[in-house]
Structure 1
Amino acid sequence: MESDSRATPDDARAALQEITDTRRRLAERITSPWWYRLGAAACTASLFLGVGLLVGRPDAGSSAESASTLLIVLGAILAPMALLAALRRSTGISIERYGEGLGTWYAVVFGLFALGFSLQAFAGVPLALPVAGIGAFVATVLTERRIDDLLRRRVRDGRSAQADA
């Protein structure tokens, strides 16, 4: 890149201000819509419900197994892919949302899963996993909000937001 000897310090300041303004506008677009947060949370909760249909239930038949499998596949694979595609269309940008900021979420969600599974499978507490799924739903909504804040801050500060191609 060549420099223009005719550029003035005022031109440089104006260019930097334009970059700052562009970052600010882009950061505003990073906020995920309410439906994305609820959808991501529903995906997480569906995993708890799907496993909960089978765990600790000796009478679980083929209909429970089918419903369980459907909830797990939808919650873990199909719905997240559809949500991310819809988010990209809605915001007009694609950003790696989950590169960082998930440590607490992992601890909470997997802790709830382990607790719910143990209570339902070994202690015979009915519906322990679906109830734990409600906690995972809330944790996911809160985490999605926190991820939006983190991404907006990174873009405003000029740090890489790991944009997808």
Structure 2
Amino acid sequence: MTQRERFNHLYESGKRSTRQAIILFALITGISVILMMIGERRLAEFIWFLLVFPSVGLVKIGARTNTLLRFNQSAEYKRLVRLEWWTAFGLIGAYVVLILTLLLNPELISVTVVATGTYGIGIIASSRLDQRLGKVDPEHVTHKVYARGKVGYFNS
């Protein structure tokens, strides 16, 4: 499968997962608004901040991972794709720790610093994994190629 065909599959998968994420976002936001209206402000904050980003992130990264796993049967490629998923999962976990710390104990700045540092390391690791995937499979659609493809890179 060529890089352009892979891009098209990823793009369609991304559109589907975006629709799912929007529905999930609306559902969680609706629940939070109802809780705010009945006076459960703190619970509404917890639900919104702890569920919106993680659930939307998991929907998006899950769709990308499932699509990428269909492109190449190489054990190395599949291992790196799964490792990228676990890295994203770890980033979401760091976000949850960060938000919990800020909501429950804003004075615990050290935990916030550690969670933020972990987040930075995870972003770098994800980028490196994406580059390694490009070396293992020359037709791999990296994040950079995907971003360019969305603005017409493959139309020329």
User: TM-score per shorter chain, which class?
Assistant: 0.3 to 0.5
Q: Under a length normalisation based on structure 1, what TM-score does the superposition of the two structures give?
A: 0.35
Q: Under a length normalisation based on structure 2, what TM-score does the superposition of the two structures give?
A: 0.37
> Normalized per residue, which structure has more helix?
2
